[in-house]
Structure 1
């Protein structure tokens, strides 16, 4: 036996390819070896930007004696959770069932040769500490239990399989119309109250430390604030976005947001940067900027889009996955500063302002006399303190940020996971397109277009006479059948692109993806979509979940996207599949309304279809751009080029006579009279964006 990871494409697996552990990738060879030798499997799941994954790798997997013990007692399998979210979902759930505790990474699970888990944990240290056993002691005790307690292990395994099966929702016999009406009506307010109760009204966000962005919840709250006039929902979302942008969760110099905050004040983050988080937050901050005119939110958009294009877009066009938290084994090393380093880079006046802005004269907020930058005194406060115009203060702080970023770029950079994930690219495309429309930035739109074309050209592969979507690409090789999230998020991205830059081929691609979603994933008996295809590798469980996690729910996103696409192309199959999905999960939403924000968004549009605005005529693009710069929830804006043929009926309106431009506004089967003036169209839709607040 030997380490078999060197032929993999995952940067995370390749990080472990030189270790003395005889790692297998997940696959038939590893499972057959475990069956043949009747040895348990040690399954280790992580990802390349994971700090504690690196710690455990250095402490244990790089150690010859520890590796020898692992090799003697177990068949060792290493999995990248970003390539195989199907496995991660199953074994994170199994870990919670076995331990009654939350999971995380690295996830460490001991399996019977058939894949059934019988013991699990997360990070284990080399010596016992903080209530965790020493890794080698655990290995010995688990192997001994496998030999002496096989009957109990088999019995527990059967119980785990049954418990996993019970996590799959079942359709109810309730009256569908009443269920859907409740989901799109009263339960919306119940969910809003649930989030409001957990909202930190001083620092923003939900709950205490560690504190995550909850981008999907914020997007629903902001939409509810605009569409329903729910001022509390709007305030919760905007306060949280403001506090995150001021704090250390945002990279104050280079742009983009880190994974989460280890404290409740958003000061010190876990320093990994994920494409998925930033794609979700980018569009959200763009919406907030359009609503409030707040320059703090606007800078988050500008810097976030700049970071994505500068550091995360591959030359081929796709967006890359993540930046590591660690440099040379120290988390945050690339990002933190001593006061002496900052002072040396600046003029005396710049130092005075920067030290006050980030409070660098207080006690260091990070380890070893270092600061991680977060805004303590906004520029408006500095302007009053220094008796200077705020514009002048803003200009100096902008110069300071540029100087420090240039100095920081001379440091050793964090490692970058340079694989292209279809689902995360789709989230980033949607965020970039929405930000481009709201800010009027064609360069951002072009960046998103390049990423979308890359996915279509390199991950939409011909397979047995039809096309099939793949999940990941690295070094010219596309791998793994795409999952539910890949399809649902990519349909959403195509819908965003169709509004910003209509191409008929994008509409056809969206329809092909929707057909694959229905044919390959739908549970036609119970409703909803499985996470894996019908012809996927047989695992111990097939997940079907509707709750949002760090990412929006794939089932909820599928329902939302299929509804919108169904109205665009008059396809009842899409609408029926979306309705069955909402019905399947409605009982769970009623029982516990938290973490269903994406499904609630879909439920609103199931009850009241989104407004469809079709623009035709020589000024259609100008009208489109004016509409896209507004926050218009539950609205689709499309401006097909006048020469486009083969449009579906809802989009196929006649060209106006005498060179005029016309808007057709419909919702479902109800249409308003055509509108021939832009000012009339805008006046009937939404108020103009708010002026800057100066905050």
Structure 2
């Protein structure tokens, strides 16, 4: 039984929810009991979604969620729910999609959605400031307006829920006969030919785009597809988005030169960075990229470790000691004492960001200079580390180690991958996989990346146990996630009952979507010598899946795997 007149987040292990357990707002966790409370009270819901290392989530928390007056408005008029998007990516996906439907624009975090008493959204935004600025209304004004609107139009708002559900369900643009080549060519026209990545700012690495270009270069040997990969990797490795002291990359940069990062470090970015570097090195040897690859792996292996389980946590915060980027930036008087540093980094007295220095590499430094930089950094307080273990991301990490082992031709990385797999088996039972803290939550991506990891390990070791496990988990995935009515995998289990509709994801997000990875898994399993029957099923699925494709650029992963499966027919699959 929930007690609505108090904050109940203290019961939840999520680091993000723990950050809000002392707010004066009566935050509740998302569950059927909380949702039922809204129905009983005929009250709208405020749904606030974020994650522990999110900078703007922290800003809104300090400005608004710690404010007594705002808390009173929320407590008196809403059922208030907090969700960790890394713990419940399905909820995040549904309500980010809702935001995009309402606003015809991309979402983000914090996500602030207003739901009717049946948990169907009717309005929303992302970050709202405490006082109106930069064209955004104050959060207090937004709350007041929503309260009045719901009182006056409650019945109309509730009646429109079916239209919203229908609109979200049909959010795709079928392009059944469209080929990958024109989609890729259109993508290339949107890339910055000088600075890399998409034109403009902010700059995100968008690894799925460059992995697709690598895939198509390997297929065609057309350098048009390889050059953007070469450019983006040079930028990622040399500019401020890369941590030149410890390794690894930040989430994105706010400028178009890849210099000024938003300093949070996410596991999902770094494992994809490792895999893209490995894909490049398999094609073209590069001592420089090999150094960056090893440095990033060493950093992730050392600093992202959840020591209790010997698996990896999720992210490092952007802030430390109440200041964004303090751990990662330098004062000029700290650096000019290092002999010869100007030869390796762009170091000027005036700095390059708010009077401080973000390291930009001119030449790969020697270990002595890196050691002196690390000594300076060790005097600072580290940012908060979210040690939450996510199954899909740990599977991606293991796969990235296999990629690195092949690219570098070093057994150490494969041995490390197998050690992590043993740790994974110790935490997760294969008959009862779960995403993170709660054993009740698991998603398509968890199963899809688990299968991919097993196939990667099998290909690298030829250990039959990995292949047998992959086949078993594949069968489990069909039973748990395959929607026979829509002929596609849905994001959450078929038994899910706490969302107003069950989402199907084929669009590109922070990681390749579960349906794309399942297509890859099906293609790879279908190409095994003893899998003729499997390939017949795959041939049927490929023809069905084409009906679900969206506008090309948003579904590059999906298109790539559709393309990779074209050599699978009713008589079997052949390697490309």
Is TM more than 0.5 here? Answer: yes
Question: Is 1:293 matched with 2:285?
Answer: yes
- 2:82 aligns with 78
Partner of 2:347: 360
2:404 to 416, 422, 435: 435
Tell me the TM-score normalised to structure 2 length: 0.94
Instruction: Give the distance between the partners of 2:384 and 2:372, measured in 1 at CA.
Output: 23
Go from structure 1 to structure 2 and tell me whether the alpha carbon gap of 1:222 and 1:362 turns closer, same or farther (over 3 Å shift). Answer: farther
Q: 1:308 aligns with which of 287, 300, 315?
A: 300
Q: Does 1:484 align with 2:444?
A: yes
- Secondary structure of residue in 1 paired with 2:412: helix
The verdict on how the C-alpha distance between 1:532 and 1:15 changes in structure 2, with shifts beyond 3 A counting, is same
Instruction: Give distance in 1, aligned partners of 2:124 and 2:533.
Output: 42
| Superposition deviation, residue 411 in structure 1 | 0.9
Whole-angstrom CA distance in 2 between matches of 1:304 and 1:371: 21
Equivalent residue, structure 2, for 1:419: 388
Deviation at 1:413, TM superposition (A): 0.3
Query: CA separation in 2, counterparts of 1:496 and 1:603?
Result: 19
Match of 2:475 in 1: 515
- Aligned partner of 1:469 among 433, 446, 458: 433
Residue of structure 1 equivalent to 2:326: 333
1:633-662 CA deviation, whole Å, 9 max, x = no partner? xxxxxxxxxxxxxxxxxxxxxxxxxxxxxx
Aligned to 2:246: 254
Calculate the aligned-residue CA RMSD, in Å: 2.3
Residue deviations 1:120-141 (CA, integer Å, cap 9, x gap): 0001111111111111121121
Deviations 1:160-212 (A, max 9, x none): 12211222688x9xxxxxx6xx66xxx12112211211111100111210111
**Conserved 8 A contact 2:567-2:573:** no
Give per-residue Cα distances to partners, 1:34-81, cap 9 Å, x unaligned.
Answer: 112111111000001100000011111122232222111111100000
**Alignment-derived partner of residue 262 in structure 2:** 270
Query: Which SS does the other structure have where 2:47 is aligned?
Result: strand
8 Å CA contact retained: 2:526, 2:538: no
**Match of residue 9 from structure 1:** 13
Verify the 8 A CA contact 2:350 2:356 in the aligned structure 1: no
The offset of 1:481, in angstroms, is 3.0
What SS class does the counterpart of residue 150 from structure 1 fall into?
helix
Check 1:364–1:32 CA distance in 2 against 1; reply closer, same or farther (3 A cut): same
Task: Give 3-state SS (helix, strand or coil) of 2:330's partner.
Answer: coil
1:644-655 superposed matches below 5 A:
none
1:156-235 equivalent positions in 2, closer than 5 A:
156-167=160-171, 187-235=179-227
- In the aligned structure 1, how far is the partner of 2:538 from the partner of 2:83? 32
Q: Please give the secondary structure, in 1, of the residue aligned with 2:371.
A: helix
Instruction: State the SS of the aligned residue for 1:2.
Output: coil
| Structure 1 residues 619-644: Cα deviation after superposition (integer angstroms, max 9, x where no partner) | xxxxxxxxxxxxxxxxxxxxxxxxxx
Given that 1:468 and 1:481 are in contact with CA atoms closer than 8 Å, whether structure 2 keeps it comes out as: no
User: Is contact 1:94-1:117 (8 Å) kept?
Assistant: yes
2:65 aligned partner? 61
1:451 aligns with 2:420: yes
Shift of residue 258 of structure 1? Answer: 0.8
Residue 29 (structure 2) pairs with residue 40 (structure 1): no
Looking at structure 2, the residues matched to 268 and 374 of structure 1 have their Cα atoms a distance apart, in angstroms, of 10
1:105 equivalent to 2:109? Answer yes
> Structure 1 pair 577/214, CA: closer, same or farther in 2 (3 Å)?
farther
Tell me the equivalent position of 2:230.
238
Question: Which 10-residue stretch deviates more, 532-541 or 417-426?
Answer: 532-541
Q: CA deviation at 1:18?
A: 1.6
CA distance in 2, matches of 1:151, 1:580: 45
Partner SS, residue 312 of structure 2: coil
Maintained 8 Å contact 1:484/1:531: yes
Provide the residue aligned with 1:321 in structure 2. Answer: 314
User: Relative to structure 1, is the Cα distance of residues 578 and 160 closer, same or farther in structure 2, using a 3 angstrom cutoff?
Assistant: same
Q: CA deviation at 1:584?
A: 4.1
Matches of 2:147 and 2:533, distance apart in 1: 52
Cα separation, partners in 2 of 1:329 and 1:578, compared to 1, 3 Å: farther
Corresponding residue of 1:586: 546
State the 1:268 CA deviation.
0.9
Instruction: Normalising by structure 1, report the TM-score.
Output: 0.78
Q: Residue 374 of structure 1 is aligned with which of 354, 360, 372?
A: 360
Q: Residues 145-160 of structure 1 correspond to what in structure 2 (within 5 A)? A: 145-160=149-164
Answer yes or no: is the 8 Å Cα contact 1:552–1:598 preserved in 2: yes
Note the C-alpha offset of 1:506. Answer: 2.1
1:220/1:597 contact within 8 Å kept: yes
How big is the shift at 1:670?
Answer: 7.0
1:288 deviates by 1.6
Specify which of 360, 366, 375 is matched with residue 406 of structure 1.
375
Tell me the distance in 2 between the aligned counterparts of 1:9 and 1:593: 39
The structure having more radius of gyration, on CA atoms, is 1
**How far off is 1:409 after superposition?**
2.3
- What is the CA distance between 1:603 and its match in structure 2? 2.5
Is 1:49 paired with 2:35? no
Shift of 1:578: 4.2
CA distance in 2, matches of 1:445, 1:40: 52
Q: Does 1:343 align with 2:336?
A: yes
Answer yes or no: is the 8 Å Cα contact 1:339–1:370 preserved in 2.
Answer: yes
Q: 1:272 to 1:227 in 2, by over 3 A?
A: same
Q: CA deviation at 1:403?
A: 1.5
In structure 2, C-alpha distance between the alignment counterparts of 1:573 and 1:95, rounded to whole Å: 42
What is the CA deviation profile of residues 226-250 of structure 1, one whole-angstrom value per residue up to 9, with x for unaligned ones?
2311111011111111111111111
Question: In structure 2, what is the equivalent of residue 114 of structure 1?
Answer: 118
